[in-house]
């Protein structure tokens, strides 16, 4: 966790975070060491539609990376979301915090667990094939966020739905199974 700050560069965000830690030491300590975190915190989700397209590509070391193809890039810093978070914090007498990767590196956070069962051409390069079937298992499929290999930087719900719908469309119907 880190204080929610807004600055253009990583260095600016780091300095703003350090400043916040010194200006509001008790609020930050209270947020860092809260007892029964799950019961005494609020998680806010702010979503908006942006007209952009991301493209997945292999990184230099073989992993997956998303890059902006067109439109506005997704960002961990949304002034509207931060205004809402500050208003809620005022109402509940709380402290707006975010994950440190958002504050320091500008990496958007997702509540969806992604990766772990990535597609590949064979068992050596992935967990599932192009039809979502798990390698070396009969009649076992993965149709959730674990099939998405990297955080696209936006809510992956529609991608998960599309991947699942495609996988389901490839399952033979009962009529075809019964005729064979």
Q: What is the pLDDT along the chain (180 residues), one digit of tens a residue?
A: 899 998 888 999 999 999 999 999 999 998 888 888 788 888 887 777 777 777 777 778 877 777 788 888 777 788 888 999 999 999 999 999 998 888 888 877 766 678 889 889 999 999 999 999 999 998 899 999 888 887 776 778 888 999 999 999 999 876 555 555
Q: Which two tokens stand for residue 137?
A: 């298992």
Dihedral (CA of 104, 73, 89, 42) sign: negative
In the prediction, which pLDDT does 153 show? 67
Yes or no: say if 126 and 150 are a contact pair by the CB < 8 Å rule: no
Active site residue 42: no
């Amino acid at each position: 966790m880190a204080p929610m700050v807004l600055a253009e560069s990583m260095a600016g965000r780091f300095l703003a975070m350090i400043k916040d830690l010194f200006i509001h030491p008790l609020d930050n300590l209270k947020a860092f060491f809260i007892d029964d975190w799950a019961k005494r915190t609020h998680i806010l989700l702010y979503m908006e539609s942006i007209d952009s397209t991301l493209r997945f590509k292999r990184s230099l070391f073989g992993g997956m990376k998303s890059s902006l193809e067109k439109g506005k890039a997704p960002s961990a810093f949304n002034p509207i979301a931060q205004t809402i978070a500050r208003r809620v914090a005022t109402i509940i007498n709380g402290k707006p915090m975010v994950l440190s990767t958002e504050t320091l590196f500008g990496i958007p956070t997702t509540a969806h667990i992604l990766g772990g069962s990535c597609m590949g051409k064979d068992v050596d390069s992935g967990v599932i094939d192009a039809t979502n079937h798990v390698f070396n298992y009969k009649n076992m499929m993965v149709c959730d966020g674990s099939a998405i290999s990297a955080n696209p930087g936006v809510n992956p719900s529609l991608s998960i739905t599309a991947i699942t719908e495609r996988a389901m469309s490839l399952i033979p119907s009962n009529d075809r199974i019964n005729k064979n």
